[in-house]
């Protein structure tokens, strides 16, 4: 029997995707919410910039996932240029839930009902370990940039 709390259902789905991809990453259940990069960094004990925020945008009306460094805010004009979209806007919570099956603040890079086109902030390359949400606002997982890119088939772009 494990000393760790059981994983929420959405985090178990994420773990299944990691295992299917042959990726070992220990999903950590945090006692408090990690809905924001600042909360996550404080709970983990890392730099805010090492948090990989999962942002769902509507790019020309279609949902896309952009993993950004918690150290800055994405510039929508720069993101649009980087992904070749005419327009990019934040997706409403209902679209985030529908596209990912996960709540804002807990959106993982994988574990969605269908794969999302994914883009990775080039600033995340600066860290040996980055931390991403693991399907629930109380769960996070450590990954390397290369692992995140392989897991998501993400295209690297500038977001600022």
pLDDT, mean of residues 56-73: 97
- Phi then psi for residue 149, to 5 deg, are -65, -45
Distance CA 70, CA 155 (A): 18
| Residue 3: pLDDT band with limits 50, 70, 90 | very low
pLDDT at 50 exceeding the cut of 60: yes
pLDDT at 2 exceeding the cut of 70: no
Q: In this structure, what token pair is assigned to residue 136? A: 């629930």
Distance CA 52, CA 153 (A): 15
Q: Is 57 exposed, middle or buried (0-12, 13-18, 19+ CB in 10 A)?
A: buried
Answer CATH for 9-157 from 3.90.79.10, 1.10.150.390, 2.40.50.40, 3.90.960.10: 3.90.960.10
Distance CA 63, CA 54 (A): 12
Distance CA 160, CA 73 (A): 7
Mean pLDDT for all residues in the chain: 94
pLDDT at 1 exceeding the cut of 50: no
């Amino acid at each position: 029997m494990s000393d760790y709390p059981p994983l929420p259902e959405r985090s178990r789905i994420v773990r299944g995707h990691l295992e299917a991809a042959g990726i070992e990453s220990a999903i950590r259940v945090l006692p408090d919410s990690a809905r924001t990069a600042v909360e996550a960094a404080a709970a983990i004990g890392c730099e805010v910039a090492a948090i990989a925020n999962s942002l769902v945008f509507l790019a020309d009306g279609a949902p896309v996932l952009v993993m950004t460094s918690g150290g800055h805010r994405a510039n929508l004009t720069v993101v649009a240029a980087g992904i070749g979209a005419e327009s990019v806007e934040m997706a409403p919570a209902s679209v985030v839930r529908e596209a990912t099956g996960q709540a804002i603040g807990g959106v993982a890079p994988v574990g969605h009902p269908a794969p999302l086109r994914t883009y990775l902030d080039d600033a995340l390359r600066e860290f040996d370990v980055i931390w991403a949400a693991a399907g629930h606002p109380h769960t996070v997982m450590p990954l390397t940039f290369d692992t995140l890119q392989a897991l998501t088939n993400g295209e690297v772009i500038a977001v600022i």
